[in-house]
Chains A and B, each alone.
Chain A
Amino acid sequence: MITRDSLYSRLLTWLLLPLLALGGLMLFQAWLDARQTADRAFDRLLEAATLAIAEQVQWQDDRLWLDLPPAALEMLATDAEERVFYAIYDNRGRFVTGNAELPGIDSDGANADDGLYYRDIQWRGLALREGVRRTRLEDWRQRERFDVRVAHTREGRERLASQLLRGNLAYILGMALLAAATLVIAIRTALAPLTRLRRAIRARDPRTLAPLELPLPRELAELRETLNELLARMRRVRANQERFIGDASHQLRTPLAGLSARAELALRQDDPTQWRQALVAMQDTSARTSRLAIQLLSLTRLDNPEYRPELSPVALDDIARQAVKQHWSACHRDGIDLGVETPQTTVKVQGLDWQLEEALGNLIDNGRRYGARRITVRVADAPPVLEVEDDGPGIPEARRLLMLRPFHRGSDDPDGSGLGLAIVDGIARTHGARLGLEDGHDGQGLRVTLIFPGALS
């Protein structure tokens, strides 16, 4: 049998199983009730028979005497033709008369009170219902105590009990069918909005991100709201992407247009020195453009949520030294003091060396570009921190968050792409590190810190 997981079958199972258990319980109860009722009705016969016999017990010839009324025995056999047994016992438990030696109520029967007792017994392999009447002679000379014990087989009781049970059975079955039918209808009705929701989603244009609009019950309305929130987020993401693409093409178009204009201008000249100047300028522009393209590429890669690079242990101080070594000559040419501060011991984190190098490169480049005189790369221990501080103009606090967005530049510097800090932000996210933008030393300049989650020992 193939079991398909569905809400419908789950609900049906979890509602029908208890219902079934309940029905079984009711049946069992009905059976007990029927038995009890039948026993109560038929115990009246035992009561009447013992009474009829007890009334005929007398004291005669110095002993208990009974003139057994046949009717007393006949009343014990109903239409079901039960087997009938009776016996009289005296106060010491001795058999006086009867057609069967029936057991008494207990072994020391002398202690029991007068009265009528019923119980089920097994006698020679027959299941009997016994009635024991413990009473005394109503005689002013003799108050001898005696037992009248009668018993009959259970056919009549069982017949009545099964009749009662059959009546109840029809009732219980009817109820169960009604309950099951109601249940099925109720579950179908309750699950109908789910089908509507599914149809509404399936019928949508796959390109649209418009919110779902259809009336639903509360529980599903929550699901619809969640879906709509997701759609709204996707709309924002798409808007961002569209803007990014627009910005990127704009950024690339400007230098390409410059290249084209310069080449056109140079072609109008006949002087080879002019050509040479133009070629130098064009080489410079194309180098910048290619750097921009590389930055765009890495930013795109960093922004991709599917991108999960495998991190390996890297030494932060090595990376810092390497970056300083790489950028030192460029800075020196511009008269910038580039320095590095590292602790005594090696600081290791999980990371990608080339990404961290690029981040440092971007930060150093930014500092150089925005007119810093001194740039310090700093590595700290516990927690591991990579930090670049400059003494340039810095960024006012209100604009720091904006700076993390691509193509947003601090000034109208035609050289900058506006991607540097956005890329650093992406790299920090990849490493699970926290990016901080603060004022530099003495409230001047900018300090960018990358605080890593934990050091590797």
Chain B
Amino acid sequence: MGSRSLTNLCAVVFFALGVLAISLRHQSRQAVHVAETDSLWKVTYRYQLESGGDANIASYVDIGLPRETPFAKFANEPKITFPIELKAEELGPFESGTQVLRVTATHPGKYPLTAVFDMALSPEVEGWSPAMTKESLSASDEARYTKDEDLLPKSSPAVQREVRRLPRGDGTTDSQRLELLFEFCRTDLREAENDPLADQVPNVLADKKATPLGRARTFVSLCRAAGMPARLVVGFNLQQDRSASPHVWSEVYSGNRWIPFDPEYGYSRRMPSTFFPVRHGREEGEVWVVPPSSAMQGVMAQYTIERMAAPESLLTREVRHPRQILDLTRLPLEMHQAMSLILLLPFGAVITAIFRNIVGLKTFGTFAPALLAMSFIYANWSTGIAILGVVLTAGFASRRFLERLRLLMVPRLSIVLTIIILCIMFVVSVLDYSGLTPSPQAVLLPMVILTTLTERYYVTSEEDGHAFAMKLSFGTLIVAAMCYAVLSWRAVGNWILAYPEAHFITIAVFMVIGRYTGYRLSELIRFRDFVKGQEA
């Protein structure tokens, strides 16, 4: 295998490795994140059923079962317990999506029924949006959800009066009318506590006060009267509650989907992830319904919602395991800045490689610009500039003087360094005197790099002339500035600390640049005489 195809292979392998490692780590991070935000809930229905005295008429009740949402899913099969005198069968799902448990009493009497649902709540579901839940509305459904019902009297004079106040005509939209109705139900109706009358739409509109159920019914009635299909939704909010009552909100069909509106809590267009529905479309606004043909005499319902303990795996995550070595974010926080800066250095090298091999810019030393940029990140701007000025003047002046002493290189360089150190210390003292104390590493790093750069500049300008030395300085400054821009980018620094395996991809990039045999940009200028006219 030729070295070129071997390099290509390696580059592809490293790239794939990087992508794989990043995605694996991302997935495991996501799993931990989900485990942290997830919760398990236990929803319990406790029913007391009293069947009618006449054994010839069937005595049954339809109890709505919780429905899964993108966020709330069943963790286990529901556990339903009841005495043998009761029969239970699941019906549905109906067109509205509702599923019910039809419980039939075979003998007259009082019977308990308990249903326990374990729900897993994941509030952070990726890739789901309400816009995805589009569904069509059949003609019969449309008729059903716009009809006049006893408890949703869309044709009552009070409802019609409210709807007539809505703006009509060109330039007004259903969305605007919907929002006005929602605002009316939200804000224009006062609270009524446990007043059965305030459940009824005509009373609500007359007294301007409503229970949560009355509020939702009013909204649905008004929407229907305004020509928009609407329905009630009964469900629960997953929060610890020893005597929970079902919550009622409403849904309006618009833009090919059912859009939730909760005039009680004010949610619209998207219910919080903790809410799950039980039934849709019934005017009663209850979890259970006794159909008219049933002889069931009494239904007592109690609901409890309890939070369950977090899974053991989440609680034992901090147990020491060699796997944790791979996680750099586990390191003490005060190490993070230095670590991420070091991890960013390869990106500085990428910039250097691009400028040298593709642009063709010459610099002093290979990694000097990147190191210079790094040292300037430790220093803040004012100290950085102060140190730059001091090092350049002191370094150049002392270098010029030392040239006459004819010293060997290392001792000469050391004298320059010593003089620069002395100057910088007094500059620090001056800064401190005027109330601006720089941190020690702000002083240390730039000094050493700048000292060697000063020497290089001096030798280059002696050997190859000032013009060439200036050219190199220019290139060094450009590359250093680019490196500074990348290295000082905190978001990238935090990211690379979380995903250091991204440097597999960096290595792949280096391999590609390393086999780049095209012209450098500088050569397009250097060889321009090749297109000079014939007279050349």
Q: Do A and B bind each other?
A: no
Chain A residues within 8 Å of B, Cβ to Cβ: none
Chain B residues within 8 Å of A, Cβ to Cβ: none
